[in-house]
Structure 1
Amino acid sequence: MFVPRPETELLAGWGISVIRPGAVVVDLCSGSGAIALAVANEAPGARVYAVERSPSALAWLRRNAGARAAAADPPIEVVEGDATDPAVLAELDGTVDLVLCNPPYVPAGVAVPVDVADHDPAEAVFAGPDGLSVIRPVLARAAALLRPGGFFGVEHDDTHGVAVPDLLRADGRFIDIDDHRDLAGRPRYATASRMADCTA
């Protein structure tokens, strides 16, 4: 099972800082639900949707979301599906305040630390030759889900500090594009806002 790492706390913290009480939040590629749980715990009244397709990850996501369900208001809604599929949560298109995503992003063939290689499933780590095969369609899905002025944040490989912001610019539906460094000073996640004067 993929183990969330401290770098992901920075992405979740950024997301929590930009939303208001009662926000609608979607966590794509939710895995075990670390981001969804952080937002639900720290953002009062947020409606959080956690999207995951892996059966093994879903088992942990449901378990973790269920563990706080009694105290949750509202509870996290677990959604089984591909985060890049336009049909998943299509009913929310154009209404979401915040989309966060920690997708697979390591380029295929790149050596990873032993703790990752020994314990994390490859599908949760690697994403094609350049590491962007999941991020590309996730950007498009985020643009469709977000309301005008909504926020998007995505974690990426430390070699993607230019590539991911460039993809956001090329999409044409995002503004206020920025890249952020992790605790070790490496490029780690990109953020943007949904442009207000265009349609999906």
Structure 2
Amino acid sequence: MPTVGTRLRATTQRLAEAGVPSPYHDAIVLIAHTLGLEPSYIRTAAARDDEWPPGADLDLLEARVTRRVDREPLQHITGKAYFRSLELQVGPGVFIPRPETEVVAGVAIAAAREALEMRGSVRVTDLCAGSGAIGISVATEVPEAQVSMVEASEEALVYLRLNARAQPADVRTRLRSVYGDARNCLRQFDSCADVVVTNPPYVPIDAVPRDPEVALHDPPQALYGLGNDGLEVPRAILDEAQRLLRVGGVVIMEHGDEQGPALRAYAESSEWWDDVRTLTDLNGRDRMLVATRVGV
């Protein structure tokens, strides 16, 4: 029977040969998930070259490794995605949250805290909420925040509601999951939000992602923003954000690293926005538009 170290090395090699971007990490996660153990335990057991646990389901591990070799997302195989402090349920039909979006969530959290300090209460709207990664993070890290999460995909809404229900009661009671889009389902909240945050679809229609995990498995409606520049949907969402926000409220919108100037120009051409800025992610790439709603 091979040791844990032998199994880990063989799995890592298979994933590397398949072009998986992080073969060692993914091998550890797949083995840990199959054995029902923490990844840290697998690292330690591999370093000690412990014997492979008797009775472990090798067929199940092989099936999962094969799925990853075929470039199915690791998060679909484990059913989990990690985002800031959250463990989220994900699967086919919902966009897998990315590390760069954690920075967007952080800016929304800071804006919510500032609004809370100024007003004593804070309402946040997360548009194109997907799995709920941003909205639930805000509710978790800003304990007084009332958060509405809006999602137009029925498939994604399943995960959004599952993730909302999985939160502790003090967070869950401040979350509201809404099916539809801002234009049709949030009229009762016009001019109520202190913060609108969104990670909308923004990939140009002819810019097919290189990674099979994205191109073949992320839902197209969560990727492609329509129009030659991919900004038809983001521009429409920006127009809806001005309706939802109170005067002085802030919009935070994720975008591609080459789309900052175009989105900034669109916002600056409107009478509704002031203090229009582009902020970067941890890699120093343009990542989000931030603007303040003004009265006219």
Q: Deviations over 1:147-191 (max 9, x none)?
A: 110011000111201011111111220111100112222111010
Where do residues 17-166 of structure 1 align in structure 2 (5 Å cutoff)? Answer: 17-20=110-113, 21=116, 22-68=121-167, 70-72=169-171, 74-83=173-182, 85=183, 87-114=184-211, 115-128=213-226, 129-166=228-265
Q: Structure 1 or 2: larger strand share? A: 1
Deviation at 1:73, TM superposition (A): 6.2
Q: 1:82 to 1:73 in 2, by over 3 A?
A: closer
> What's 2:104 paired with?
11
Q: Which has the larger radius of gyration?
A: 2
**3-state SS, counterpart of residue 134 of structure 1:** helix
* TM norm structure 2: 0.64
Structure 2 spans left out of the alignment, 5+ residues: 1-93
Structure 1 spans left out of the alignment, 5+ residues: none
Q: 1:51 to 1:69 in 2, by over 3 A?
A: farther
- Does the 8 Å contact 1:49/1:77 carry over to 2? yes
Deviation at 1:88, TM superposition (A): 2.0
Q: Deviations over 1:110-131 (max 9, x none)?
A: 1313121132011110111211
| Bigger RCO of structures 1 and 2 (CA < 8 A, at least 6 apart) | 1
Q: Which runs of 4+ in 1 moved over 4 A?
A: none
Instruction: Report how many aligned residue pairs link the two structures.
Output: 195
Over the residues paired in the alignment, what is the CA RMSD in angstroms? 1.3
**3-state SS, counterpart of residue 119 of structure 1:** coil
* TM norm structure 1: 0.93
Amino acid at match of 1:126: Y
Q: Deviations over 1:15-61 (max 9, x none)?
A: 11122343100000001100011100001211100000101100000
Q: 1:96 to 1:191 in 2, by over 3 A?
A: same
Percent identity among equivalent residues? 42
